[in-house]
Chain A
């Protein structure tokens, strides 16, 4: 079974600084997808960024980027120029790329605090 591990229950960063959230996963598959979801206090689950395992290039979405290390099964999220609105729980998630089997497996989350 696939597992996703987030070893940092809480992180904090000064506003405008850069922070990196860690995620590791375990799978025997070669083709899969990885995601970072953000959950603010409003409790919405918002997709931040996703990475296809077959792509070597790291995904980037504005201030958010990932460092995907397939051999190490590591998928960290870097937030640049942190803003107060980035404060939230961040969940790393994994999904197989098999057609019809897109269920997500989530990590336990990292609570990110932004210090003004």
Chain B
């Protein structure tokens, strides 16, 4: 079975540019999470969706960040305009609600984002 698929794997862009990160969750999973990993702050939850609906976006750092989940098989995280401090590894994870309690989250391989 395919796992969580993220693209691109690496992204290097200049400050001020728009960045779009993509995630395809595991088929049948209905909960999706976006995390950011930095050396300073570790792994932080940015936002998560249940059944395509954003549930908690309190971790989104500021208005430059936005996330969407137009359907059950696709989500995007967008940064506009990007800044050097946004450089990090961004992970997407998915799990299945409604099954056994608290199914573990399955993570993608992450997108390493570098803003110059």
When the two chains form their complex, are residues B56 and A47 in contact, meaning their CB atoms are under 8 A apart? no
Q: Give B8 Cβ to nearest chain A Cβ, in Å.
A: 14
Cβ-defined contact, B109 with A104, below 8 A: no
Inside 8 A of B107's CB, which chain A residues have their CB? 37, 44-46
A50 and B105 alpha carbons, distance in the complex (Å): 11
Which residues of B are found within 8 Å of A45, using beta-carbon distances? Answer: 91, 93, 107, 110
Give the distance in Å from the alpha carbon of A37 to the alpha carbon of B109 in the complex: 14
Find B42's partner among A33, A50, A101, A107 (CB 8 Å cutoff): A107
Which B-chain residue is minimally distant from A4 (CB atoms)? Answer: B42
Q: Counting chain A CB atoms within 10 Å of each CB, which of B43, B50, B93, B98 scores highest? A: B43
Contact flag A102-B31 (CB < 8 Å), given A43-B110, A45-B93: yes
Known contacts A100-B97, A102-B95, A108-B42; decide if A35 and B104 are in contact (CB<8 Å): yes
Measured CB to CB, the closest approach of chain B to A92, in angstroms, equals: 11
Interface size class of A (residues with CB under 8 A): 20 to 34
Chain B positions 33 through 45: 1 when the CB is less than 8 Å from some CB of chain A, otherwise 0: 1010000001111
Residues of B within 8 A of A107 (CB): 42
Which chain B residues border A109 with CB–CB below 8 Å?
42
* Interface SS, A side: loop
Contacts of A100 in B (CB 8 A): 31, 50, 55, 97
Q: Mark B95-116, 1 if CB is under 8 A from A, else 0.
A: 1011001111111011010000
Q: Are B56 and A97 in contact (CB under 8 A)?
A: no
Question: Chain A: residues with CB nearer than 8 A to chain B?
Answer: 33, 35, 37, 42-47, 50, 52, 91, 95, 97, 99-109
- Would you list 12 pairs from A and B whose C-beta atoms are within 8 A, ordered by A residue? A35-B104, A37-B107, A43-B109, A45-B107, A47-B104, A97-B102, A102-B97, A103-B48, A104-B93, A104-B105, A106-B44, A108-B42
Other A-B pairs, 14, CB within 8 Å; known A45-B93, A91-B43, A102-B48: A43-B112, A44-B110, A45-B91, A46-B107, A47-B106, A97-B102, A99-B97, A100-B55, A100-B97, A102-B97, A104-B35, A105-B45, A106-B42, A106-B43
